Amino acid sequence: MSDPYETTEQHLERLLRCALNSFDLSDTTIERLGTALTHSSSLHSSHHSSALHRETYRHTYLLADGSTLTLWELVHGGGRDTDAPRRHELYDDEGDAQVAAARLSGSFWDTRAITDESSRDDLEILTLLTAVPPAPLPRMYAPDNSADHARRVLRRAENGDRPGAETAGLLRAAFAHHITQIFGRQCRVDGRDAGFTLYEHAFLLLDGSETSLWEVEHTATPDGRHMCEVYGDEQTARRAMENRTRIC
């Protein structure tokens, strides 16, 4: 239930101020939130371990036109033995929140690291990265503001060879999408732990055709920060992961 000591306006102001990625919310979402009359918040899921504390909260708003809007808040930080600050992320798409949660608790933190003592050499690491994945489950397309989802995936990509204007234009006709985690692994790169995750964002277009964006999320950067890269096909995305293992 809503906090009786915090108005909906104060609640939204606090939520948007704390979120590291609030600028990713669409203008339409921000405008609609401006008409919120009341809200209700609840814990949706959580993960707690010695390495990570993560919770996902669902915030549902009743708007002036009688409709509702839901925000998904991801709160995460170090585990029980650390004093790491808590970080907040905010999404208006449940699929995006699930991808972000999986990145933290499923791929980067819960997967066993490949250590120097394990006697696995660089060739074996590359084999892991380029391994053929198991057959994916059938796609269940969800019509949920998919064109805007595609726009946000492309906008957060940092690689210079990401899909360009032609692909962006094509995806304006997307009316449903499905997200699949294809690959996830944590390994040693240049003496440091690095996490790799590969997602396929499949889109169903108005003419009945399908197309995909391939998103690589990793921490194989010189300073260990999280980075997102997007490619137009799976082979190029896997080759990019392979190249990332050769950071000097």
Q: Would you say 20 and 89 are in contact if contact means Cβ atoms under 8 Å apart?
A: yes
Q: Would you say 171 and 145 are in contact if contact means Cβ atoms under 8 Å apart?
A: no
Q: Would you say 125 and 188 are in contact if contact means Cβ atoms under 8 Å apart?
A: yes
> Does 3.40.1350 match the CATH number of domain 8-108?
no
pLDDT reading at 33 higher than 60: yes
Q: CA–CA separation, 97 vs 30, rounded Å?
A: 17
> What is the pTM (predicted TM-score) of this model?
0.49
Structural tokens at position 230: 């997007």
Note the pLDDT tens digit of each residue in 145-190: 899 999 999 999 999 999 999 999 999 999 999 888 887 777 777 7
Domain boundaries, the chain: 8-108, 116-244
Rounded alpha-carbon distances, angstroms, from residue 124 to 118, 131, 193, 197, 245: 11, 10, 16, 17, 11
Structural tokens at position 165: 């204007």
Note the pLDDT tens digit of each residue in 82-133: 566 788 999 998 888 888 887 775 443 333 333 334 334 444 544 444 454 5
Element (H, E) at 238: helix 234-244
Structural tokens at position 156: 């957060």
